[in-house]
Structure 1
Amino acid sequence: MDHLREMALFVEVAKVMSFKRAAVSLRVPNSTLSRRIAELERAVGVRLFNRTTRSIELTEAGAIYYERCRDIVEAARIAHEKLGEVVDKPRGRLRISTTVELARLYFAPIIADYTRLYPDVTLEIDLNPNRVDLISQNYDLALRVGQQPDSTLISRHLGILRTTLFASPAHLARMGVPARPEELSTHAVIGNLNAPQADRWVLSRGDETVEVTVSGRIMVNNFGLMRQLALLGLGIVMLHEPMVGFDVKAGRLQRVLPDWVLREAPVYALMPSRLLPAKTRLFVDMLATRVSPELAASFGS
């Protein structure tokens, strides 16, 4: 039995000294209210009301119980209202874990708008590459790329991040434009140190898959530096399309083998619970509004 709920019903009856009026106020049938109070009396082992056909009154035990219950019920009501403010109005600290690249691609304008709209929230954004435990380390939200292991975390799919190939016009003018993945073996590439097989690129186009052995003098574990080196004409590089969209539009970089993709990885927002306070819910909604369309627009998908 929900003792706090029964207690609240008892307090309401004791306030108006009428089962009928209390039932109307609480919007429950009179018979249900009478039964619930009888269950409470059995639970506490004492009669709380003396009932007659025309009226009720508190017993001595009921009066003592009412004095104690009234404060408890009021405290619970206030706590519920305060919790409602947390749920409905964003406030407090919002702790987010994400990757450097996702933060660099998307976070700056979102943070600017979020802090302007919700001045009672402070943001703590962790770009540590080590994965955090949202629950034990008290994070509100994490953004991750790639399939996530089964867990108790709640995930929201934001889109697909595609990785493809880019090079500067100068490099392609010097070395030629590859027409097939196999031709990449004759080009210098800027390798990714974090890739499990940096010298083997696997490209796919629909159901077709090709594995190519590549080589180059430069290996880097930072996408930002890889982009800069590609801009300088030092080789073909694999990058996320959103990272170089402006470079492509400006003609500083060109897509190489634009119909082929090296990797398609889902992007997820991970949360410790479905019951989100406003500070988290509003940030996730902003991510979905801003990030998902950009991911969907990549390569015309």
Structure 2
Amino acid sequence: MELLNDMALFVEVAHARSFRGAADVTGVPNSTLSRRISALEKAIGLRLLHRTTRKVELTEAGQLYYERSRRIVDEARIAHEQLSEMLAQPSGVLRASLPVDFATIYMAPLVADFARRYPGISFDFDLTPRRVDLVSEPFDVAIRMGELRDSNLIARLLARLSVQAYASPGYLKVSGAPEHPSQLSGHECLGFAKAATWELHRGEETVKVDVGGRFLVNSVGMFRSLATLDMGIVLLPAEIVADDVAAGRLQKILPDWTGKPTPVYALTETRLLPAKVQRFIEFLQERLGQRGDEARAD
């Protein structure tokens, strides 16, 4: 990079036939220009310029070097300009791994808005619960929910989703509404097998309750649907059930109590990201309302 910078300075001096003229164009002082060109000549092993008190003339080697260098510098400048345009309007295929239910229920409208904002980007989405390998598999980014394990991946916090308990009017009509979290142990509760203990908070007060039911499901979308069909109570982020609440299929219970917020992360292998990935992460942070710090996580 230093060689290219010195080459660019030489081109300006040769074009202006003057160190002063080149200094006006580049903003680099005369003394610095002279020193850099002298170092370039020393590195090449040939004199490129004849210097006089009034003007600068190219040597034969300098004329050849100028003709070649000018093309190289022009190409480098064009490349920078094109990359700047790419940053302004990124393009290419964005390959992302997304959590199935969160993507289909909540992220789809966000992705549609992002696609409209950046028409040059096309999308290759893999909706899977498995932990993809960002090192060996061709993914630019993975979106994951929940707390993360330490690893060498870069995690950017996108959101912390508020979690509350919901049930259908039909279920509540038959089974009644719990008035305190401790009463959840006597209800049908829908969730993951590993989440058999629910933790709810009200101010400084915390209650942990063992819950259970007839259904243990590994899909948020599935037990959300079961809840709308009067099969039990769910503890989910408000964003996941917003449509069902608006339509009256679910309603909030224990309104003063909240579950532990669910974090949502964007995971990448590196901090050096293509513009399409940078813009996607920034867009999700903007829409999900979280400017999270980077961390090492899985």
TM-score class, shorter = 0.7 to 0.9
The equivalent of 1:109 in structure 2 is 109
Which of 276, 284, 288 does residue 287 from structure 1 map onto?
Answer: 284
**1:92 pairs with 2:92:** yes
Query: Residues 244 and 213 (structure 1 numbering): CA distance in 2 closer, same or farther, change over 3 Å?
Result: same
8 Å contact from structure 2 (residues 49, 62) kept in 1: yes
Write the letter of the residue equivalent to 2:8. Answer: A
**1:250 pairs with 2:254:** no
* Residues 19-34 of structure 1 aligned to structure 2 (within 5 Å): 19-34=19-34
TM-aligned CA deviation for residue 236 of structure 1? 1.7
TM-aligned CA deviation for residue 234 of structure 1? 1.6
The equivalent of 1:140 in structure 2 is 140
8 Å contact from structure 2 (residues 106, 240) kept in 1: no
The equivalent of 2:199 in structure 1 is 202
The equivalent of 2:296 in structure 1 is none
**1:236 pairs with 2:233:** yes
**1:55 pairs with 2:55:** yes
Single out whichever of 90-99 and 152-161 deviates more from structure 2: 152-161
Write the letter of the residue equivalent to 2:44. Answer: V
Separation of aligned partners in 1, 2:268 and 2:25: 39
**1:3 pairs with 2:7:** no
8 Å contact from structure 2 (residues 92, 120) kept in 1: yes
SS in 2 for 1:36: helix
* Residues 42-191 of structure 1 aligned to structure 2 (within 5 Å): 42-150=42-150, 153-191=153-191
Separation of aligned partners in 1, 2:217 and 2:14: 74
Structure 1: runs of 5+ lacking an equivalent: 294-301
Which of 205, 223, 227 does residue 224 from structure 2 map onto?
Answer: 227
Structure 2: runs of 5+ lacking an equivalent: 291-298
The number of residues matched between the two structures is: 290
In the TM superposition, what whole-angstrom CA distance separates every residue of 1:108-148 from its partner, at most 9, and x where no partner exists?
A: 22232333333221111221222234454343333222334
Separation of aligned partners in 1, 2:232 and 2:151: 40
SS in 2 for 1:215: coil
Query: Residues 15 and 110 (structure 1 numbering): CA distance in 2 closer, same or farther, change over 3 Å?
Result: same
Normalising to structure 1: TM-score of the pair? 0.85
The equivalent of 1:298 in structure 2 is none
TM-aligned CA deviation for residue 275 of structure 1? 5.2
**1:41 pairs with 2:38:** no
In the TM superposition, what whole-angstrom CA distance separates every residue of 1:64-94 from its partner, at most 9, and x where no partner exists?
A: 3223322222221222222222222221111
Normalising to structure 2: TM-score of the pair? 0.86
Separation of aligned partners in 2, 1:223 and 1:245: 14
Query: Residues 40 and 149 (structure 1 numbering): CA distance in 2 closer, same or farther, change over 3 Å?
Result: farther
SS in 2 for 1:217: coil
SS in 2 for 1:218: coil
State percent identity of aligned pairs.
Answer: 51
Separation of aligned partners in 1, 2:127 and 2:208: 32
TM-aligned CA deviation for residue 6 of structure 1? 0.5
Single out whichever of 24-33 and 268-277 deviates more from structure 2: 268-277
